[in-house]
Structures are given as structure tokens and as C-alpha cells.
């Protein structure tokens, strides 16, 4: 079977994050995002793709700051409430029953109950006709110790980070299970054993 090229997000599992921002006059906003990725390991920038008509984009442009919150699989209800198209003057934390989690380096708070919080500043926008790529620098990365080893490695079986598989008319929420394998980065740089 072949799928049309525009359904490429149907074959690529995506993370689901909640981006929290504040408007210049202090209104709290939260919105789910799937088109987001770190830019190469082990640098500290991330990139997200945004349609033009987003309060999140307006707030990032106006304040230069945002928080990327990593929700658990148990937070899909809050995610879908935040996905509604509220006008900018609505407090989306209040609508979704979210409790602010204090940030240290940026003004927008994170969201309590998440697995991790990336406090970010705007580095650059790459503007296209219909969308914008927002490059952000992660200024501070906080994690909930309950879900991580002392080395800062997430245990996905406990944390259950929310992910999604897009379909034709909806999204299927998932979370990574893992296959039990743990492979060293060093393997990539070794010629030993290569045929
Ligand atoms: C799981 C999920 C992922 C989403 N990912 C994106 C995305 O990557 N980019 C985007 O522009 N909108 C995305 N959306 C849509 C926005 O979250 C939605 O339009 C939201 O109302 C925007 O809120 P805002 O106007 O307060 O920024 C996504 C929605 C859901 C439910």
C-alpha cells in the first residue's frame, strides 16, 4: 500500500508536549504540540513548527519565552481541553484545571504533574507562507525525580510520556513501551565488528 505524501505524519510517531506561555499582559496559555524535536544531540536547541494562527506563537513572539512540558499518558484529557480554540483572553490553565509549576529562568510557569519542564527562550523564527519554525534554546531542564534514575535517565515504564500516532480523522495516543535493549552511543563510533 502507498499513502499520499502529505500523510507522512501517519507513519512517524510523534511526542505530545504542552507548551505554556504568558501573554504580555499576563494571561496564561497552554497548548498541545506534536511537531517539536531537539536539534541534534547533545546541543541545547529545539525546533517546533507552528501554524500562523496560534496564541502560543503570538506569546512567544511577544515575550521571547515558553516552557515545553512533557505530559504523562494520563493527561490526554487536559491535552484535548488545551487544544480547543479559546480566544487569547481566556486562561487555559483554569479551563483545563492545570496547576502552575514555578519556572526559574523564564516568566511562563510550567504545568504541575508533568514529567519534565524545558524553560526556553526564542532564538530565531524561520517564516514560511503558512507556518513558522520556532527555534528555542533550553535554558533550564527540570525533571520529576520520581520518573528518572540518579543519572537523569527516564524510566518510560513509570513515566509513560504521552505520544501520538496521527490517523486520517484523528489521533491515537500512545506511550513508548521499550524493547528492553539499551545500546551505547559508543557503538556508533566504532568500526570493530563491522563486516
Ligand atoms: C496532540 C496535538 C498536537 C498538536 N500539534 C500542533 C503543532 O505541532 N503545531 C501547531 O501549530 N498546532 C498543533 N496542535 C493544535 C494546537 O494545539 C491548537 O490549535 C491549540 O488550540 C492552539 O492553542 P493556542 O492558540 O492557544 O496556541 C496540536 C493539537 C493536538 C491535540
pLDDT of residue 24: 96
Tell the residue nearest (CA) to atom 23 of ligand 1: 31
Tell the residue nearest (CA) to atom 8 of ligand 1: 35
Give yes or no for residue 56 CB within 6 A of ligand 1. yes
Residue 16 C-alpha to ligand 1 middle, in angstroms? 10
pLDDT one digit per residue (tens) for the chain, 195 residues: 999 999 999 999 999 999 999 999 999 999 999 999 999 999 999 999 999 999 999 999 999 999 999 999 999 999 999 999 999 999 999 999 999 999 999 999 999 999 999 999 999 999 999 999 999 999 999 999 999 999 999 999 999 999 999 999 999 999 998 778 899 999 988 876 555
Do residues 61 and 88 lie in contact, with contact meaning Cβ atoms separated by under 8 Å?
A: no
Count CB neighbours of 164 within 10 A. 20
pLDDT of residue 59: 98
Do residues 53 and 88 lie in contact, with contact meaning Cβ atoms separated by under 8 Å?
A: no
Please state, in angstroms and rounded to a whole number, the distance separating the CA atoms of residues 96 and 148.
26
pLDDT of residue 194: 57
Give yes or no for residue 164 CB within 6 A of ligand 1. yes
pLDDT of residue 71: 98
Give yes or no for residue 160 CB within 6 A of ligand 1. no
Residue 150 C-alpha to ligand 1 middle, in angstroms? 33
Do residues 99 and 87 lie in contact, with contact meaning Cβ atoms separated by under 8 Å?
A: no
pLDDT of residue 93: 97
pLDDT digits (tens, 9 = 90+) for 120-142: 999 999 999 999 999 999 999 99
Tell the residue nearest (CA) to atom 10 of ligand 1: 50
Sign, Cα dihedral of 131, 137, 138, 140: negative
Residue 32 C-alpha to ligand 1 middle, in angstroms? 5
Amino acid at each position: 500500500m502507498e499513502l499520499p505524501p502529505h500523510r507522512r505524519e501517519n507513519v512517524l510517531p510523534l511526542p505530545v508536549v504542552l507548551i505554556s506561555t504568558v501573554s504580555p499582559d499576563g494571561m496564561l496559555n497552554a497548548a498541545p504540540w506534536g511537531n517539536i524535536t531537539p536539534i541534534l544531540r547533545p546541543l541545547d536547541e529545539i525546533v517546533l513548527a507552528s501554524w500562523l494562527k496560534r496564541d502560543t506563537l503570538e506569546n512567544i513572539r511577544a515575550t521571547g519565552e515558553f516552557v515545553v512540558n512533557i505530559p504523562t499518558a494520563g493527561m490526554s484529557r487536559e491535552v484535548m481541553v488545551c487544544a480547543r480554540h479559546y480566544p487569547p483572553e481566556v486562561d487555559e490553565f483554569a479551563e483545563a484545571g492545570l496547576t502552575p509549576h514555578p519556572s526559574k529562568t523564564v516568566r511562563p510557569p510550567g504545568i504541575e504533574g508533568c514529567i519534565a519542564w524545558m524553560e526556553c527562550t526564542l532564538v530565531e523564527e524561520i517564516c514560511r507562507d503558512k507556518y513558522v519554525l520556532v527555534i528555542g534554546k533550553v535554558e533550564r531542564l527540570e525533571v520529576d525525580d520520581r520518573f528518572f534514575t540518579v543519572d537523569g535517565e527516564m524510566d518510560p515504564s513509570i513515566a509513560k510520556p504521552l505520544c501520538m500516532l496521527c490517523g486520517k480523522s484523528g489521533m491515537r495516543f500512545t506511550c513508548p513501551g521499550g524493547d528492553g535493549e539499551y545500546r551505547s552511543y559508543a557503538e556508533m563510533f566504532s568500526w570493530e565488528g563491522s563486516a
